[in-house]
Amino acid sequence: MKRLLLGIAVAAVLASLVSAPGASAHPLGNFSVNHLVQVSVSSEQVGARYILDQAEIPTFQERGLADSAVLARKLGEVRRGLVVRVDGRPVALHVTRTPRLTHPRGQGALPTTRLEVALTAPARGAHAVAVHDGTFPGRVGWKAVVAAPGAGTAVRSSVPTADPTGGLRRYPTDLLTSPSDVRTATLAVAPGAGTVQAPGGPPVSTTTTNTSGDGFAGVFERALDGRGAIVVLLLAAFAWGAIHALSPGHGKGMVAAYLVGTRGTARHAVALGATVTITHTAGVFALGLVTLALSAYVLPEDLYPWLNLVSGVLVLGVGAAVLRSRVRWARARRARHDHDHRHAHDHAHDHRDAHDHAHGHRDAHDRDHDHRDAHDHAHDHPHAHDHDHGGHTHTHAPPERITSRSLIALGASAGLIPCPSALVVLLAAVAQHRLALGVLLIVVFSLGLAATLVGLGLAVVGVRSAGARLPVPSGAVAVLPALSTLLIVGLGLVLTVRAVHGVL
């Protein structure tokens, strides 16, 4: 009873840690740089309200800069990248009010950056206005241009008037995977009563300001603030890693297919988990190093498509190696065993001084000799063939050879792409001078990630072992590893093609 109560208490604590709301994380990712331009045309001028919402990691890259320096840098980007043309001629934009720069708190106690700038340009008697937002090229995030009514004009706009983000304060959940990427607008202007004719925006459902289900950085915040015992926080980090492994990706299908296709053992499943742990932890540190030291030369988010490509190529290589092994084995089997070896002949041995061999002839043996267990046939066949033993059939197919190289490659492919929240924890630990705490939580998180894959692998091995004892036709048993091999190759091809598309 005491153990039950203790278990319930621990589960309750973990549930509170996992479900308790932490600081808002950016719904479009910790790398995102989001910007919105709201354009209005009056009888005298063009107005542009520019809003920037910058997530934790790009804000961290500007650490050490005073707000005045950050503001000057952002305004310079806006002046260079935001282009307005009136009747085909570019016009200069001027800041009309003091820009507002704030730093809302994000994941892992890291700040984010929010900037609001109001700009205008002369446009008396304008008939056509074109706007192009070329700020922050190459950065991932929400990019939109919307129209607003202006005094004394009737405007026909190519972009909608509705802004589903409320000024980049919340984001539609059903558009997070394919965020807006509108950077250009054209507006036909005529005298009027402040109206705008515009297309309707895409239908949206609920909006969010939080990422879905990833609160690992919140565990670091609680540890940083001294909320919760360290053991419980470590358990929570482990739980978040295990939960994170259940999200799409992370090689769950590949691990299962590999262990089936190669007849892997529990030891191989554990080895895969260890490789995932090491690779994921090393990947977080490597990406953190890029963010800290090399961000002037390469953007961290630009590495993710390449990491996806490497992961896909690794899976494809493992699948190709397993497929090649099976093809070689099948060819050797056909070359050595083209006949159907069924042991259809009987060996009737009475083991007497004079006894009969049922081979179609009778030989009387007057000499005593040892036949050792009813004339044991020692067939040293390197090939797999079916034996018929008293009404049931089983196969002696040799197990596939599992190499350390293939285990490492598959484990690396599953752990190669670091979880962005783990990177946030590392950077937050650096910023708060709590590196040891951050590293410890990341390692435990990676162990949780690996534990899910190991558990899956052990389950696959157990189910396969149980299935081997069932009276399953030998043909079906032989087909399953082949199908698993083709599945690995197929997954590798899909991952590689997607990654190539992302790189290009």
Q: What is the pLDDT of residue 74?
A: 97
The position carrying tokens 């354009």 is 39
Query: pLDDT tens track of the chain, all 504 residues?
Result: 444 434 433 443 444 444 444 444 567 788 899 999 999 999 999 999 999 999 999 999 898 899 999 999 999 999 999 999 999 999 999 999 899 999 998 888 899 999 999 999 999 888 999 999 999 998 989 999 999 999 999 999 999 999 999 999 988 877 667 889 999 999 999 999 999 999 986 666 556 665 444 578 888 888 877 777 788 889 989 998 888 888 766 566 666 666 665 667 888 888 888 888 888 888 888 888 888 877 767 777 778 788 888 878 887 887 777 777 767 766 776 766 554 544 444 444 444 444 444 444 444 444 444 444 444 444 444 444 444 444 444 444 444 556 777 778 877 877 777 888 888 888 888 888 888 888 999 999 989 988 888 888 888 778 767 766 666 565 555 566 677 777 777 877 887 888 787 777
Among 140, 153, 149, 147, smallest CA distance to 185 is for: 147
Same domain, 452 and 313: yes
**Which residues form the domain of 325?**
216-334+400-503
Q: Are 136 and 24 in contact (CB under 8 A)?
A: no
Mode of pairing for the β-strands spanning 45-54 and 82-86: unpaired
Torsion, CA 478, CA 483, CA 488, CA 492, rounded to 10: 150
The answer to whether position 89 is within a domain reads yes
| Secondary structure in 3-state letters for 93-112 | CEECCCCEEECCECHHHCEC
Question: How far is residue 115 CA from its own chain's centroid?
Answer: 30
488 within a domain of the structure (yes/no)? yes
Give the model's pLDDT for residue 252.
61
Domain-embedded: residue 340:
no
Tell me, yes or no, whether 255 and 180 share the same domain.
Answer: no
Calpha distance 476→482 (Å, rounded): 10
- Residues 110 and 140 reside in one and the same domain: yes
**5 occurs within a structural domain:** no
Q: Do 251 and 198 sit in the same domain of this protein?
A: no
Mean pLDDT score across all residues of the chain: 77
Does 445 share its domain with 479? yes
Instruction: Say if 107 falls within a structural domain.
Output: yes
- Predicted local confidence at residue 271, as pLDDT: 85
Domain boundary at 178, 202, 226, which?
A: 202
pLDDT at 114: 97
Based on the domain organization, do 178 and 248 belong to the same domain? no
197 dihedral zone (left: phi>0; alpha: psi -120 to 50; beta): beta
164 and 220 share a domain?
no
- Answer yes or no: is 355 within a domain: no
| 288 and 427 part of one domain | yes
DSSP 186-222: EEEEEE-SSEEE-PPPPP---EESS-SS--HHHHHHH
Q: Which amino acid is at 105?
A: R
User: What distance in Å separates the CA atoms of residue 182 and residue 145, rounded to the nearest whole number?
Assistant: 6
Q: Do 182 and 300 share a domain, yes or no?
A: no
**What's the confidence (pLDDT) of residue 202?**
63
Residue 406 within any structural domain of the chain: yes
- Who contacts 408 (Cβ-Cβ below 8 Å, separation ≥6)? 275
Number of structural domains found in the chain: 2
Three-state DSSP state, 393: strand
Boundary-marking domain end, from 145, 170, 202: 202
Does one domain contain both 156 and 252? no
- Tell me, yes or no, whether 189 and 63 share the same domain: yes
Residue 475, C-beta contacts closer than 8 angstroms, at least 6 positions apart: none
Nearest 10 degrees: CA dihedral of 279, 282, 288, 293? -120
Q: Of 164, 85, 89, 95, which Cα lies nearest the Cα of 131?
A: 85
The Cα 487–Cα 254 span in angstroms is: 8
Among the candidates 165, 180, 202, a domain finishes at 202
Determine if residue 194 is left, alpha or beta; phi over 0 gives left, psi from -120 to 50 gives alpha, anything else beta.
left
- Specify if 393 maps to a domain: no
Contact at 8 Å (CB) between 502 and 311?
no
Verify that 191 and 226 share a domain, yes or no.
no
Strands 153-157, 195-197: parallel, antiparallel or unpaired by DSSP? Answer: parallel
